[in-house]
Structure formats: C-alpha cells, structure tokens
C-alpha cells in the first residue's frame, strides 16, 4: 500500500489526514507539540471555510464544540462610528463563525482515529528529509527515528522545516505590522451581540470581538515603525506598557470603561509576528507543501484556515485516484504539480486582497487629516465607505474559485 507521511497536525494536516485515511490511504501524521492548545492562531471561519467544513462532513462536529457567529462588523475612527454591516452579509448565506481551533482539531483527530490505516505520532518533531536519488523518500525525527514514505506532505506551518529541508524558496511579502493578542473577560454588550469592532484612533489600531470560548479577544496592531518598541528593556518596551489604559485611551467610551474595569484580570498579551508570502514552487518529487507551509497567510480578514481547508480538498481530489492504484511514483509527482496549478491563482488573489485591506488601513494610519475628515463626514459619506468595503469583502468571504470535494 502507498504510504503517506504528513508533517503537522494543524488545520491542513489533520483534515488532509482524515480525508485520505477515510478513502483507504495509509497515512502517518506527525505533530511536534503535545497539545492542540498551542499558541493562538485564529479561529474565524468565513463562508468559504464553513463550506469546506460541510463538504468534509464536519458540520455536525462544529455544532458540538464551542463556536460563535459574528453578528456584525463595525468601524470606529477617532472615537466616532463610521459604518456597520450586519452578518450574514448580502450575498452569503452563512455568517462568519468563530470555531474553537483546539476543539476542532481534537474532534477531527477522534474521527480519523477510527480509520485502521491511520497512525498519529505526537510530540515528535521532524528534523530532516530522507532522499533516494533525487526523490524525497521519508523523514527523520529529532530522536533519529526514520520513517519511509512514498509521499511526504509538509503541513508544518509558516516556518516549515519540510520547506527548508527541500530547499523550496519562500518569497516573503513585506509586512509593516505584528500583532499583540489579549484575552480578557467579556462584557454583556458582546454577549448580547457579537460585533467585530475595528478601532482606529491616532496611531493606534485594534480589533475586538468575543471568541468561541466566551472571552473577549483583542488584536492590537503593532506597527513596526511604532514608538512602542519590540526591543526588550528599552524605555518604550511593549511589555512595560499599561495595556488596560492604552486600550481604553484608544477605545470608544463604553468599551474604555470595560478595559479599565478588567485591568487586574487582563492576561499579558502574546506577541504574534506576522509572516506572509508564498513559494514559487510547492513541490519536488516525493514532497508537497500545503497550507501555511506553501503560502503563509496574513491574519487580515481571517483567511489562513479557510485557504488551508480548500488546499486540502483540491489535494484530496488529485491524490486519491493516484494513491488508490498500485504505487506509481511518477503519477504521484504529476499530481503534485496539478495541485499547485489549481490552488495558486486563488492564493495569489486572496493575498492581493488582504494586502489591499492593509494598504487602506495604512493610508488612514499615515494621514491624520484623512482620519479627521472621514470621522467628521461619516454621517454623509459613511454609506459610500460601507458599500466600498462590502464590495471588497465578497471574494475574501466566498473565495476566488469554486472548490468541490469530488472523491
Ligand atoms: C494572529 C493570527 C491570527 C489568525 N487568525 C486567523 C483567523 O481568524 N482565521 C483564519 O482562517 N486564519 C487565521 N490566521 C492564519 C491561520 O492561523 C493559518 O493560516 C493556519 O493556522 C494555517 O494552518 P496550517 O495547518 O497550514 O499551519 P499551522 O496551523 O501553523 O499548523 C502547523 C502544525 O505543524 C506543526 N509542526 C511545525 N513544525 C513541525 C515539525 N518540525 N515536526 C512536526 N510538526 C511540526 C505545528 O506544531 C503545528 O501544529 C491567523 C494567523 C495569525 C498569526
């Protein structure tokens, strides 16, 4: 039987392992971390991701784990509301939904564990690739153990060791910001209605919403040019900032009161550095990169998990017919090129749209006069800004191409 080894049990690796194993393919899945409660990596699923979840037969799973739909999106500039859009938005049937990622990964693992041809190796990091002539023939773990494979799939995220060992180049897009992530107790306002607020005041910008597990989550944009320094020990070190006060000073009054009231319960923020880019080539004979390993996504408008799930459906369509035949390495390698050719156009387009969203925010960030004008004129021009924003969201919600799981 053809043996597949997948590296990384994030959204990409686990769902791919499930789809392949359910179709009779022998799969070994290797995950370095011992728990799915790893560093926070987002939990918003757009309609495109929810559609993938449905096609994968996981909709019932989502209803049984912590999840919460977004009810609306609202934008504030200089302490004034600019516009609001209710979910689900016009042309999409499903609201953007926050789904607990650890719970989703655990539930998918439970499903795939029912397949006899599946093996999960947890708490083991892959260190390098094994080669046979010019073809990847397996992996070596950090304890020296070797595992042979007819195909290795790198689903090991943005710092992919598989990508590095295969010497597949990652072309990075310049990024102007990192994110500080805060969790704090929620407020009745968000319990009643889960609005995703985007707030811009002076040089400060953040987004806030109630997460799937009921706490309030805040992503503060830490501009790399910002006076708040990433350098530990410097006078303006981000770790020394009074964040409850900093957030309150940027927030509308009703929210500022909540931040101040939660000063003691607020956890220290996590610094999440943003890597965005894509590989010109996702594969070599015997190895394929998928998800963030092939194209690390920006957190802007929650695209990474959605794109990863769509990569997985396309990979399944191309791989299963080949893998269900007696081992044919040339046919496997041909399928790898077809997977990249089908997925790449959407990834390029979605990363371009995310970059356009960042450019809009940077424009506002850079020109105080523009912020002032937009905030004062909101009652007059708010509906046009709203329409322009809505038009830009369509593909970020639905995807750029149609993706169907066919096998
Ligand atoms: C701050 C932030 C917020 C985000 N918010 C959202 C959001 O709301 N919605 C959304 O769709 N996307 C979001 N994203 C993007 C999203 O998190 C990623 O695109 C997505 O996680 C990619 O999934 P993946 O499975 O390809 O990689 P990952 O989720 O990174 O999983 C890779 C897995 O590989 C394992 N691994 C790594 N190296 C090895 C090794 N050597 N050996 C074995 N295992 C290894 C890791 O432990 C990990 O479990 C966000 C990203 C950031 C940074």
Q: Tens digits of per-residue pLDDT, 124-133?
A: 999 999 999 9
Tell me the H-state helices in 131-252: 161-166, 188-192, 243-250
Model confidence band, residue 257 (pLDDT cutoffs 50, 70, 90):
very high
Place of tokens 């996504």: 297
Q: Rounded to two decimals, what is the model's pTM? A: 0.95
Atom of ligand 1 nearest to the CA of 292: 26
Q: Which residue, judged by its Cα, is nearest atom 29 of ligand 1? A: 10
Determine if ligand 1 sits within 6 Å of the CB of residue 53: no
Say whether pLDDT at 267 is over 90: no
Average pLDDT on 317-335 reads 95
Model confidence band, residue 90 (pLDDT cutoffs 50, 70, 90):
low
Q: Which residue, judged by its Cα, is nearest atom 18 of ligand 1? A: 304
Q: How many residues does the chain have?
A: 407
Average pLDDT on 207-219 reads 94
Determine if ligand 1 sits within 6 Å of the CB of residue 302: yes
Determine if ligand 1 sits within 6 Å of the CB of residue 100: no
Determine if ligand 1 sits within 6 Å of the CB of residue 126: yes
89 sits in which H/E element: none
Over the chain, what is the mean pLDDT? Answer: 93
Place of tokens 């791919």: 16
Tell me the H-state helices in 29-100: 47-55, 59-64
- Centre of ligand 1 to C-alpha 10, Å, is 6
Q: Which residue, judged by its Cα, is nearest atom 12 of ligand 1? A: 304
- Kindly report, residue by residue over 349-384, the tens digit of the pLDDT: 999 999 999 998 888 888 999 999 999 999 999 999
| pLDDT on residue 127 | 97
């Amino acid at each position: 039987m053809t043996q597949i080894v997948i590296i990384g049990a994030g959204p990409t690796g686990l769902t791919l392992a499930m789809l392949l194993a359910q179709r009779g393919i022998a799969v070994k899945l290797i995950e370095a971390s011992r728990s799915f409660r790893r560093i926070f990596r987002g939990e918003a699923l757009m309609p495109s991701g929810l559609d993938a979840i449905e096609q994968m037969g996981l909709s019932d799973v989502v209803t049984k784990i912590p999840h919460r739909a977004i009810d609306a999106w609202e934008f504030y500039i200089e302490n004034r509301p600019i516009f609001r859009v209710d979910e689900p938005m016009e042309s999409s049937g499903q609201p953007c939904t926050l789904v607990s990622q650890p719970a989703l990964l655990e539930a998918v693992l439970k499903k795939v564990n029912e397949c006899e041809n599946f093996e999960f190796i947890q708490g083991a990091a892959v260190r390098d690739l094994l080669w046979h002539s010019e073809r990847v023939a397996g992996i070596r773990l950090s304890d020296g153990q070797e595992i042979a494979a007819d195909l290795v799939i790198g689903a090991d995220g943005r710092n992919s060791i598989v990508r590095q060992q295969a010497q597949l180049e990652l072309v990075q897009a310049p990024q102007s910001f990192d994110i500080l992530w805060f969790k704090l107790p929620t407020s009745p306002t968000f319990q009643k209605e889960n609005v995703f607020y985007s707030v811009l005041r002076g040089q400060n910008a953040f987004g806030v919403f109630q997460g799937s597990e009921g706490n309030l989550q805040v992503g503060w944009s830490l501009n790399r040019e910002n006076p708040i320094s990433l350098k530990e020990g410097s006078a303006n070190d981000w770790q020394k900032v009074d964040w409850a006060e900093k957030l309150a000073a940027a927030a509308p009054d009703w929210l500022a009161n909540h931040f101040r009231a939660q000063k003691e319960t607020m956890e220290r923020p996590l610094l999440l550095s943003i890597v965005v880019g894509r590989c010109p080539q996702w594969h070599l004979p015997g190895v394929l990169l998928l998800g963030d390993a092939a194209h690390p996504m920006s957190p802007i408008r929650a695209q990474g998990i959605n794109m990863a799930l769509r990569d997985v459906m396309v990979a399944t369509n191309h791989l299963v017919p080949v893998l269900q035949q007696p081992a044919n390495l040339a046919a496997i390698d041909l399928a790898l090129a077809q997977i990249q050719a089908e997925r790449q156009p959407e990834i390029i387009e979605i990363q371009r749209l995310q970059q356009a969203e960042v450019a809009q925010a940077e424009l506002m960030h850079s020109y105080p006069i523009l912020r002032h004008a937009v905030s004062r004129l909101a009652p007059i021009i708010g509906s046009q800004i709203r329409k322009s924003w809505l038009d830009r969201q369509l593909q970020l919600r639905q995807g750029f191409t149609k993706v169907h799981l066919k096998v």
